[in-house]
Structure 1
């Protein structure tokens, strides 16, 4: 009976939070990048065959840079080939938003991405960044250097 009362109180609190008005606050660059580093899943936005494309990916932070693992044959890998001399503009987004209360945060980074070619760096990142699926092929990664960083904090 006590457990039911607790579950009911929690459900009532969540319902009240879901109906409460939200406030949106801006996050500064430092806090936005800190929050980005607190999660390992995000979405990368890039151009593929002249159209916008979005892919969910695992990431890790290396200082302020975002590191994303690539695999052969993926659309994302095609935007930055090993012989591609120029950086490519991408956007990266991650968030943590409670599905019931809609309280949380969202961070969007826009910057230049390039393929990592240094074998020591690749080995270091491969040890820390597991791919979603084990696929045959080379160990490849992408470094995103943040240029524009925006973040929103959603509070109830």
Structure 2
């Protein structure tokens, strides 16, 4: 990344803090050997893991259990030409521990599309990266036309 490209790299702690500020992100995974992106609601676990709640019978669960995935979320202000983006990359796995499952039933993410039989998916945060657009439509202190 260039020093004057208008973006600021975000550290892991700041990325994790920003993840708690939005309810929806996008999971990026492989479906039939092609990249697929699906919007999902989520919450952040105490250890920085991304937690999803979905139908036990969904195609998503079959595609991501045990696979390395990416999870992205962002916040954009179109009027101010500013915003941030955070990407978490790591292995996704079904939560199978009964104690953790019970805890997530009480404090975990709530599905926006409830299903009769739901499961929790954990994405362990192996790599957490982010960046913030700080310059917007200005360059060297001069406002650029939109």
Pair in the same fold by TM > 0.5: yes
Does the CA contact (< 8 Å) of 2:7 and 2:133 recur in 1?
yes
**Is 1:91 the counterpart of 2:70 in the alignment?**
yes
- Contact 1:48/1:75 (<8 A) preserved: no
Query: What is aligned with 2:139?
Result: none
Residue 39 of structure 2 aligns with which residue? Answer: 56
The correspondence for 2:22, drawn from 39, 45, 54, is: 39
- The answer as to whether partners of 2:90 and 2:126 remain within 8 angstroms in 1 is yes
Contiguous gaps of at least 5 residues in structure 1: 1-21, 82-86
Alpha-carbon separation, structure 1, partners of 2:74 and 2:123: 17
Q: Which of structures 1 and 2 has the bigger CA Rg?
A: 1
CA RMSD of aligned residues (A): 1.7
Deviation (angstroms), 1:91: 0.1
Paired positions, count? 129
SS of residue paired to 1:146 = coil
2:6 aligns with: 23
- Where 2:81 maps in the other structure, the secondary structure is coil
Return the offset for 1:33: 1.2
Q: Relative to total residues, which structure has the larger helix share, 1 or 2? A: 1
> Cα–Cα, structure 1 residues 43 and 80, in superposed 2: closer, same or farther, change >3 Å?
closer
SS at match of 2:103: helix
Structure 1 residue runs of 4 or more that deviate by more than 3 Å after TM superposition: none
Q: 1:55, 1:126 → 2: CA distance?
A: 23
